[in-house]
Each structure stands twice: as C-alpha cells, then as structure tokens.
Amino acid sequence: MAKRKAFEDSAAEQDSDVVSSLEESSSEDDYDEIRQEFEFFDPQSPWDFEGFKRLLRQLFDADATSFHLGAIADLILAQPLLGSTIKTEGNESDPHAVLTILNLKQHKKEPVIKDLISYIANRAATNPKLSPVKDLLNVENGTNVGLILTERWVNIATELIPPMYRMLQEEISWAVEEKEPYTFSHYLIVSKTYLAIPSMLDEQTNRPKKKMKPKATKGVDEGHSMYYFHPEDEVLERHATSFGGFDYIKQSAEGESDSKSTFHDFGIKQRGHLILIEAAKFEGALKEMETEFATSTTQPGNTIAPMDES
C-alpha cells in the first residue's frame, strides 16, 4: 500500500495522486505540462536495493566509492517502518526519491557506519563552521545523532519533500513510543551543493565572457556563487546549529567542470554539504519548510531524466 495520508494533508486543494512537472520546450518562455503520478512507499526489499544504491551514489558523488553502498542500503531496508520512498509505477518499481534516518550510535559497530563517521569527521575538519559536527560524532560522549540520508531524481519537485520529512518525524515519534532506540539529540543531514566557477574555456579560446544568469543565487562559498541541489536545505540551515560545505576527497580532474557547462560561461564544481540541527528545533524547521513549499506548482526544468551512474 502506498503511504498517501501525509501527502493528502499537505496538498488539500490538489489531487493527492498527481503532481505536475513542467518540461521545457524549444521556446525559452513556453513549457509543456506533463501529468505524472507520484506515490509514497515504505522502504521495501528486494525492490529498492539497487535503486537505493544509485541514489546513494548520486548523493555522495565523487566519494561514493569510499563506502559499501550495498551495506548502507541494507541498513535502510532493515528498518522498513522508518523513512519513505517516492515511486511512479507502483510498489515494485524503482524509487525516484528516498528519505530515511540511521542511528549512528545503534549501528556503531557496523563497518560501513564506522566508515561514514570517519569520512564525515574528516570532511567536517576541513571547515571551521562544521567543528560541532566532529565533536558530536563521537558516539561515546552521550549524544545520539540521527544521520538523515535523502536524495532524489531531478523530476521530483521540492514540494514533495516536506511530506516525507513529516512522515519521518511521525515515524520516529511512534518508534520512541514503542521504546525503540530513536531518541536523538541531533539530526545530521548529508547533502550537496554546487559552485559556479569561471570556465577555463574562456581563457583557452579568448572568447568574450558573459554574465551568468542563474535561476536563483543562494549564497557564496569559496568566493563563488553557490546553489542548492535540495532547495529545502536553505530552510533547514535557518534552524541549524552549524552547516557548511566541503570538497570531495576525490576531486575531479582540472577542467572537468567545463564538461558540465556546455551552454554556460561558468563551470560547475560540486561539493558535499552538512547540516546539523538539534532535535528540539527540528519541528520548527519542518513547519517552516511546509509553509515555504506549500504550493503545488513545480519549477521549469523539473523533467524526468536518468541519473549519472558514472
């Protein structure tokens, strides 16, 4: 059965089974509307295993090979009543999105959790803004951090994400009522951003430089314009104890960002991103997220596309 209730509650004035995505047409100002049905499901084995690995590979980007992604997927599937997926072709189809949480303290003996904790601590140490993260990752100091993992395909509108967070919050509450180990002191969200950096092609070809006109500049990082892959991260940051970006350990080759800027005068540099929130402040962040993304209108360009598995 699909998990529909939270979605219906968050979209009272629209069909709970259908969300419109907009596909950009050949005209810059005209768009063709595509009706696409999205359904929420619990994480379920065996259908979600490969899909989870693909989404995790996309989330951790260049550093995805640092982890046993299958082991992370197994941990997610071992707690089917916690977290949600979004699918378009029924229960046995591939997930287009996942949002879940892992108890770092509970799973501290799992090799893949040790790898995750070590990796996050290492990356947090490269950014002074993330110093609280490194301290809290010591599972022996009495804190209990819930690691939130969320990723989706580009056709998933941001408006679908608040219901997933709401369902997660409710499921955590139910688990705590059942005396399960999900009483967290903090939530740590793993995410990613990208920077618009000057293209090397300009210097190599001496072509005139043009001003980039991005859809929405969200901030500055390393002196470059920064953008969110997950727009809801900006809301979460307003309630965070700390947040910040970091370079991936496995950096792209020099000039590789230009391959992602064929139609722009800027290259793209992807970075990891962490957001740390006290559990007591999470409800406030969720309410603001639900308010900010209450509309059902998706943004131009949210079209179905395969993920890069390279």
What's the pLDDT score for residue 208? 52
What's the pLDDT score for residue 35? 64
Res. 242: pLDDT tops 90: yes
Dist. CA 258–CA 199, nearest whole Å:
6
pLDDT category of residue 62 using cuts at 50, 70 and 90: very high
What's the pLDDT score for residue 224? 67
Dist. CA 129–CA 134, nearest whole Å:
11
| Residue in this structure with the two tokens 């287009």, named with its chain if needed | 96
Pairing state between β 242-246 and 219-221: unpaired
SS3 124: helix
Ranges of beta strands (E only) in the chain are 18-24, 31-37, 39-41, 84-87, 97-103, 145-152, 186-198, 219-221, 224-228, 242-246, 266-278
Res. 14: pLDDT tops 50: no
What's the pLDDT score for residue 143? 81
Pairing state between β 145-152 and 186-198: parallel
pLDDT category of residue 294 using cuts at 50, 70 and 90: confident
Lowest mean pLDDT among 13-17, 113-117, 205-209, 277-281: 13-17
Res. 63: pLDDT tops 90: yes
The two tokens of residue 100 are: 């879940």
What's the pLDDT score for residue 220? 55
Q: Evaluate whether 308 touches 59 at the Cβ level (below 8 Å).
A: no
Q: Evaluate whether 63 touches 249 at the Cβ level (below 8 Å).
A: yes
pLDDT per residue as tens digits for the range 136-182:
988 677 789 999 999 999 889 999 999 999 999 999 999 999 999 89
The two tokens of residue 187 are: 């939530």
Mean pLDDT, all residues of the chain: 80
pLDDT category of residue 267 using cuts at 50, 70 and 90: confident
pLDDT category of residue 277 using cuts at 50, 70 and 90: very high
**Residue range 46-72: mean pLDDT, rounded:** 96
What's the pLDDT score for residue 124? 96
